[in-house]
Amino acid sequence: MDKKKLNHLALIVDGNGRWAKEKGKKRSFGHKAGFDRLEEIILYAKEKKIEFLSLYVFSTENFKRSTEEVCYLMDLFVHNFKRLIKKYEKENIKVIFSGRKEPLEDRVWNAMEEIKEKTKNNTGMVVNFCLNYGSHAEIVDATKKICQKVIHHEISIEDIKEDYFEQNLYQNLPPVDLLIRTSGECRLSNFLLWQLAYAEFYFPKTYFPDFTKTEFDKAIDYYYTRDRRFGGITYEDKNY
Ligand code: IPE
Ligand code: IPE
Ligand code: MG
């Protein structure tokens, strides 16, 4: 059995609103609890020697939510990115982002740029926040970048191979090994469609604010039970 190391883990943070509702609280209460949990899980992932962690925290589609909820989330991001700079400098965590700039407010973009800049030389783990992220948008944006290069004769059509396409995505990260989506939803909601091509999927019912280290361990244990074949076979079967 192929015990491929869990190198890149992707996480769809979901269920904050339902978690709060079940407690008779506002959705914002769930988002706050979700971000606190996320902070804990990031450090735990580092302890578990995961090198790349991609976190879906706000989709391009999430702008459909009420202005009040979107504003609350943006405030939460700004506040936490500012606060986390010192902590991640100490923890040797590098923060990067995937997503479109428009229509993020300057204060949000500036907070993103600041933590990215201040942690850029860190080598302990890469945390890729997918914020104002949509996979369709990413693929369209990559295609546009590549077309520009063809138009300006920097590359020819024949140069467009899978590797080259990947290099033009928002981030050039290794493929995702394991995807976790909390809250029981079994869909991708426009997340990392290219990068998830051969990922293992894990869908716990737990709402994200309740996604403890023990729950995280269960996801990792599940990953190491998988037989990752990548189209080949991993056992001796002469019966063909
Ligand atoms: C995930 O929780 C956080 C974001 C999408 C920003 P939700 O807000 O989607 O929570 P539910 O799915 O409504 O419970
Ligand atoms: C996906 O969750 C986006 C994030 C977790 C950031 P949603 O809660 O927005 O997805 P749907 O609407 O249930 O598909
Ligand atoms: Mg949701």
Q: Residue 18: which CATH number?
A: 3.40.1180.10
Whether 82 maps to a domain, the answer reads yes
Whether 189 maps to a domain, the answer reads yes
Spatial CB neighbours of 96, under 8 Å, sequence gap ≥ 6: 116, 126, 127, 128, 129, 171
- Does residue 133 have its Cβ closer than 6 Å to ligand 2? no
**157-214 residue pLDDT tens:** 999 999 999 999 999 999 999 999 999 999 999 999 999 999 999 999 999 999 999 9
Mutate to test the pocket of ligand 2, among 21, 31, 61, 191 (most ligand atoms within 8 A of CB): 61
Mutate to test the pocket of ligand 1, among 12, 18, 69 (most ligand atoms within 8 A of CB): 18
Q: How many domains does the chain have?
A: 1
Whether 229 maps to a domain, the answer reads no
Whether 160 maps to a domain, the answer reads no
pLDDT at position 1, please? 43
Whether 235 maps to a domain, the answer reads no
Write down the pTM of the prediction: 0.97
Whether 157 maps to a domain, the answer reads no
**116-130 residue pLDDT tens:** 999 999 999 999 999
**93-112 residue pLDDT tens:** 999 999 999 999 999 999 99
pLDDT at position 2, please? 46
Whether 159 maps to a domain, the answer reads no
Q: Which domain holds residue 100?
A: 8-133+175-221
HEC letters along 128-156: EEEEEECHHHHHHHHHHHHHHHHHCCCCC
Indicate whether 66 pLDDT > 50: yes
Indicate whether 238 pLDDT > 70: no
Whether 98 maps to a domain, the answer reads yes
Q: Where are the alpha helices (DSSP H) in 16-66?
A: 16-22, 27-47
> Residues 145, 193, 215, 30: is their CA dihedral positive or negative?
positive
Give the residue whose CA is nearest to atom 10 of ligand 2: 189
Backbone φ, ψ for residue 173 (5° rounding) = -105, 160
**146-157 residue pLDDT tens:** 999 999 999 999
